[in-house]
Amino acid sequence: MNSEASTPVVHTRLDGSVLVVTIDNPPVNALGVAVRSGLLQAVELAHNSPDIQAVLLVGKGKAFIAGADIREFGKPPMPPSLPQVLELMETGSKLVVAAIHGPALGGGLEVALAAHYRLALPAAKLGLPEVNLGLLPGAGGTQRAPRVMGVKAATELMLSGKHISAAEALESGLVDRVAEGSDPEQAGLAYVNELLAAKAPIRRTRDIAIADKAAALAELDALQAATAKKARGLFSPLKIIECVRHAVELPLEEGLPRERAAFLECLESPQRTGLIHAFFAEREVVKIPEAKAAGPRALNTLAVIGGGTMGAGITVAALDAGLPVIMIERDAESIARGRANVEKVYDGLIAKGRLTAEGKAAIMARYTGSTRYDDIAAVDLVIEAVFEDIDVKKAVFKELDRVCKPGAVLATNTSYLDINAIADSISRPQDVIGLHFFSPANIMKLLEIVVPAKVSPDVVATAFDLARKLKKVPVRAGVCDGFIGNRILAVYKQAADYIMEDGASPYEIDEAVRGFGYPMGPFQVTDLAGGDIGWATRKRKAATRDPNARYVEVADRVCERGWFGQKTGRGFYLYPQGARVGQPDPEVLAIVDAERARKGITPRTFTPEEIMRRYMAAMINEGANVLNEGIALRPLDIDVTFLYGYGFPRHRGGPMKYADMVGLETILNDITTFAQEDPLFWKPSPLLVKLVQEGKNFDSLNTLA
């Protein structure tokens, strides 16, 4: 009888009087319909067999259960539902114990919460991260977690989406015991047999009373106020609090259906679509053709050329990943400054109590500063981050070509320069690649991996391996002016300038962009980054600019006054006494007015909706061009670029996903309408036109052939 309830993904075997139920659904034991059916059968078997005294739930492989099968969301639901399975499990007559040795997340933790006892092994990771997907725990998590670990701790766990360790779970009461080892079956059986010997009662979570209800409700009020402030239009966090309120006020039987209804509401929300797209997209970006063709080269040592803003940030990122780094600068004074730039980051952490002096010393032991290129002869990978000047960069690459060992990967962090030209200037173009980090490089997650024409596939694979080691999110990009991100940015920034000159103030534009879900608007970003950087680029490109193209000079007028943003106390905003949040500046508005007058423009009003229609249409149209030219592999690569490098609101999935959700026809219609005013700027991308003609969306291009 021991395999009566076994299915391909849920195995059962009898060990004495204990039914061991193993979930075996690689890679992460997600609770797809087959697992739910298998679990239901196993629970029914235990229920109906007098020989079975207890059930032990374990997961095969690395995970206990990583949650619901995310790929099923948005498709017609298939019975049995998880709440139905858990109802039977919790109310049944046999003792159920969960032994957790890896991720027990979302629905996975909800399974454990419906068990009567919970054991964790040291590698367990527990959490209710549904909020990250625009959802809430929909199989009793909002009702059972507060009963087991207290209202405040449970709500915070759900609102943060954080994973906690076995030790933390024990401390919060989420698990009953932590056992040594890594074999959940062995540790679980020992625990179950101990419980049986002690005649431990069937302890149903639903029967646990929430102690001080008034205090719990007050805690929820406080959490609700804090969440409403920072949720920036997100739907599910407030729903989570509402459900926990029901857990406090109602018996479980009444709380559960309310939770289910709220879960289904979240499931229907476009925020869920956007967030789940982001979840899969950030896992898809590493799937690139070169990784199929070749493995990475050895990568144990690094050199960084230049110790300025980017060189120092990249060095910190590499040191933090445990890699030894040799930094090269021009002279003794510059290398001292480079080292100081690196140390400043760690001193900041020490000041905040997040690092000790010994910790810093241990990290800095991996750092070497030098002014001699010969010192980097043996490194595996070099990242050049010197001035943005093709001749300076070529001179550096000439030195790298001279000293570096054969097979060393030679990377440039250039923002705009032609990497093919850099590669062709040395004897080994196959080893040259772009690694475009974002500032601050030790913090920002995005890494554009720019693939020049002659690079060999194993160099590309090595760059992706570096990203993994540095915990960055890599996106493969082709060579062009600005690659994926900065190229598209230049276009929608231009759209923002046009909107400003036509009538909206920079402050109205920033507000509309924040209202869409960005943390900052484009003019705030300019002030943060320093207006001088864009100004220098505009001057460099002035000679090659199309004389017929519309050019807005407001930013130049602001820069001419030395107003470069936060660092000068003034830019598009005023920053009195070093304030971090700027105030609108009437003098900037006067500059805008003067520019309008000079060009004979009568300002008109823009609603936030119209501002965003134009802003997004410009972004999406250039995104389509970038795709059409093969600069981005898939629409999802553009989405990930903007989610991780440009603050695009995650719940909207990224610009290309957003376009799909709005409908490509609508976007194209907008562009065609705007083109009546300025046909040079608003040229519909041929790819967008083609997709609309064929009735397709961007998502249809997300699967690589």
Q: How far is the CB of 317 from ligand 3HC (least distance, A)?
A: 20
Q: Residue 704 in contact with residue 289, Cβ under 8 Å?
A: yes
Nearest residue to ligand NAI by CB is: 308
- Total number of residues shown for the chain: 705
Using CB under 6 A, which of 162, 330, 428, 557 touches ligand NAI? Answer: 330
Q: Per the structure block, which two tokens stand in for 319?
A: 């040191």
| Enclosing H/E stretch for 467 | helix 457-469
HSE of 133, CA atoms in CB hemisphere, 13 A: 25
| Enclosing H/E stretch for 479 | none
Q: How far is CA 648 from the centre of its chain?
A: 10
> Facing residues of 479 across strands?
none
| Residue 69 touching ligand 3HC (CB under 6 A) | yes
Choose one: 47-55, 138-146, 264-272, 588-596; the region binding ligand 3HC (CB under 6 A): 138-146
Using CB under 6 A, which of 87, 90, 110, 585 touches ligand 3HC? Answer: 110
Q: How far is the CB of 490 from ligand NAI (least distance, A)?
A: 14
| Span 234-293, contacts to ligand 3HC by CB under 6 A | 280, 283
User: Rounded CA gap, 210 and 146, in Å?
Assistant: 8
| Residue 329 touching ligand NAI (CB under 6 A) | yes
Angle at 480 between CA 474 and CA 483, to 5 degrees: 30
Choose one: 136-144, 316-324, 368-376, 389-397; the region binding ligand 3HC (CB under 6 A): 136-144
In order of 78, 571, 608, the CA distances from 581 in angstroms are 50, 12, 21
- Lateral strand order in the sheet of 54-59: 10-15, 18-23, 54-59, 95-100, 117-120, 177-178
133 contact, one of ligand 3HC, ligand NAI, none, CB 5-8 Å limit per kind: ligand 3HC
DSSP 3-state assignment of 209?
Answer: coil
Choose one: 84-92, 436-444, 560-568, 678-686; the region binding ligand NAI (CB under 6 A): 436-444
Q: How far is the CB of 430 from ligand 3HC (least distance, A)?
A: 29
| Residue 690 touching ligand 3HC (CB under 6 A) | no
Amino acid at 343: E
Residue nearer to ligand NAI on the CB measure, 413 or 456: 413
DSSP 3-state assignment of 573?
Answer: strand
Neighbours of 445 (CB within 10 A): 16
472 contact, one of ligand NAI, ligand 3HC, none, CB 5-8 Å limit per kind: none
448 contact, one of ligand NAI, ligand 3HC, none, CB 5-8 Å limit per kind: none
Residue nearer to ligand NAI on the CB measure, 165 or 334: 334
Residues with Cβ within 8 Å of residue 364, at least 6 apart in sequence: 319, 342, 343, 346
Binding to ligand NAI by CB under 6 A, coded x per residue (else -) over 393-412, reads ---x----------------
Strand ranges inside 110-163, DSSP E: 117-120, 125-127
| Residue 82 touching ligand 3HC (CB under 6 A) | yes
Neighbours of 137 (CB within 10 A): 29
30 contact, one of ligand NAI, ligand 3HC, none, CB 5-8 Å limit per kind: ligand 3HC
Using CB under 6 A, which of 44, 375, 388, 556 touches ligand NAI? Answer: 388
**DSSP line for 284-310:** HTT--HHHHH-PPPP---EEEE--SHH
Q: Per the structure block, which two tokens stand in for 377?
A: 């002869």
Q: How far is the CB of 266 from ligand 3HC (least distance, A)?
A: 10
| Residue 158 touching ligand 3HC (CB under 6 A) | no
Q: Phi and psi dihedrals of 10, rounded to 5?
A: -135, 110
399 counts as catalytic = no
Residue nearer to ligand 3HC on the CB measure, 30 or 408: 30
328 contact, one of ligand 3HC, ligand NAI, none, CB 5-8 Å limit per kind: ligand NAI
Alpha helices, DSSP H, located in 231-331? 236-249, 252-268, 270-284, 289-293, 309-320
Using CB under 6 A, which of 129, 369, 649, 684 touches ligand 3HC? Answer: 129
Q: Phi and psi dihedrals of 13, rounded to 5?
A: -150, 150
311 contact, one of ligand 3HC, ligand NAI, none, CB 5-8 Å limit per kind: ligand NAI
440 contact, one of ligand NAI, ligand 3HC, none, CB 5-8 Å limit per kind: none
Q: Residue 439 in contact with residue 313, Cβ under 8 Å?
A: yes
| Residue 71 touching ligand 3HC (CB under 6 A) | yes
In order of 480, 534, 682, the CA distances from 630 in angstroms are 10, 26, 21
Q: How far is the CB of 132 from ligand 3HC (least distance, A)?
A: 6
Q: Residue 402 in contact with residue 324, Cβ under 8 Å?
A: no
Residue nearer to ligand 3HC on the CB measure, 68 or 512: 68
| Span 436-495, contacts to ligand 3HC by CB under 6 A | none
| Residue 135 touching ligand 3HC (CB under 6 A) | yes
| Residue 139 touching ligand 3HC (CB under 6 A) | yes
The bridge status of strand 54-59 relative to strand 18-23 is parallel
Q: Residue 256 in contact with residue 140, Cβ under 8 Å?
A: yes
Q: How far is the CB of 585 from ligand NAI (least distance, A)?
A: 24
> Which of 44, 72, 90, 130 is the catalytic position?
130
User: Rounded CA gap, 672 and 14, in Å?
Assistant: 68
Residues with Cβ within 8 Å of residue 233, at least 6 apart in sequence: 517, 651
Q: How far is the CB of 31 from ligand NAI (least distance, A)?
A: 42
| Residue 385 touching ligand NAI (CB under 6 A) | yes
Q: How far is the CB of 485 from ligand 3HC (least distance, A)?
A: 23
Q: How far is the CB of 329 from ligand NAI (least distance, A)?
A: 5
**DSSP line for 352-409:** TTSS-HHHHHHHHTTEEEES-GGGGTT-SEEEE---S-HHHHHHHHHHHHHHSPTT-E
Residue nearer to ligand 3HC on the CB measure, 139 or 335: 139
> Facing residues of 98 across strands?
57, 118
Residue nearer to ligand NAI on the CB measure, 506 or 530: 530
Binding to ligand NAI by CB under 6 A, coded x per residue (else -) over 438-457, reads xx------------------
Residue nearer to ligand 3HC on the CB measure, 57 or 525: 57
| Residue 308 touching ligand NAI (CB under 6 A) | yes
Q: Residue 485 in contact with residue 601, Cβ under 8 Å?
A: no
130 counts as catalytic = yes
**Interaction site with ligand 3HC (CB under 6 A):** 27-28, 30, 63, 66-71, 82, 103, 105-107, 110, 129-130, 133, 135, 137-139, 141, 280, 283
Active site residues per annotation: 110, 130
Q: Which positions touch ligand NAI (CB under 6 A)?
A: 305-311, 328-330, 334, 385-388, 392, 396, 413-415, 436-439
